[in-house]
Amino acid sequence: MSDTGHRLPAVESESALLPWLLVALRPMNRTRVKQLLQHGRVTVNGSPISRHDHALHPGDRVAIRNSKSSPPTKVLLPIVHADEAIIVIDKPSGLLTVATENEKQDTTFVRLSEMLAALGAGRPFVVHRLDRETSGLLLFASTAEERDRLQENWDGVEKTYLAVVEGRPRWPEGVVENYLKEGNNLRMSSGGAGNGGKLAITRYRLVATRGANSLLEVVIPTGRKHQIRVHLAGLGCPIIGDLAYGAKTNPARRLGLHAWKLALKHSVTKQRLELESPMPTRLWKK
């Protein structure tokens, strides 16, 4: 029997099935996970498994079958955090956040919506976006009210990125502040405050240099389209792979930008929430 439904992340170490599922299917509760096993909706390497203590081995393929027969769907997105207010996933490079005219079927929003629907966990609401080739932390709201609150206070969310750039900035740290405006070619350019430009502030710090490239830590108090890409290119250090903004090299075969950290005050707990996504080794090996 072949897997149908939602494939879970690859098994990386020895484990019993139930405890592994409790981690892979967070925030689904224990009772719901047991029901999936009981009803034969969990498959391992294509075969339905109902035993809680079934042994998993590295490389095993685990999937959740839909309640009705259907073709295979996309691989589930890694969930970094989920609760009654927000959902934060680790977006891979190459995947759009939301649909465009040319791509409507396979986006982060579609994948997450399908996943939550299958788990009976509601639906996501888009708060912000990452460029297709940017990887890392992407935040969704669990309700429309939470989405509106987050968007209204978005500049208060701490957003930290890691960028691999060509060359090395003249100064090891600094601030770029100007106004960005979108042109008819959909690219952003810097200029003055007039003609619809929006204030964009980028803080950067040199972390390391290796050969012809540098690794920068970047904090953006504002969140404008292509902000980091435009500002780093303006320093003479375009992000690797960013041919639209002047990069000459593409060693990682993707944009060298990763949404590394998010920090915000949680609307329900009122506590500070700090989240992190490890830098892909494809971009910068330690």
Residue 131 designated active-site: yes
- Supply the pLDDT for residue 246: 95
Contact status, residue 86 vs residue 128, Cβ threshold 8 Å: no
Q: What's the pTM value of the predicted model, to 2 decimals? A: 0.74
* pLDDT grade for 276, boundaries at 50, 70 and 90: very high
- Supply the pLDDT for residue 119: 78
* pLDDT grade for 75, boundaries at 50, 70 and 90: low
Indicate the Cα dihedral angle 213, 227, 263, 117, nearest 10°.
-110
* pLDDT grade for 71, boundaries at 50, 70 and 90: very low
Q: Say whether 156-260 and 1-73 share the same fold.
A: no
Could you tell me which of 233, 239, 262, 268 has the C-alpha nearest to residue 251? 239
Residues 36-55 have a mean pLDDT of 82
Task: Please tell me whether the peptide bond between 27 and the residue prior to it is cis, using omega within 30 degrees of 0.
Answer: yes
What is the topology classification, in CATH, of domain 1-73? 3.10.290
CATH architecture assigned to 156-260: 2-Layer Sandwich (3.30)
Angle at 76 between CA 73 and CA 269, to 5 degrees: 140
Residues 142-153 have a mean pLDDT of 95
Among 131, 148, 155, 242, which one carries the catalytic annotation?
A: 131
- For residue range 194-236, what is the model confidence (pLDDT) as tens digits? 677 889 999 999 999 999 999 999 999 988 999 999 999 999 9
Residues 147-162 have a mean pLDDT of 94
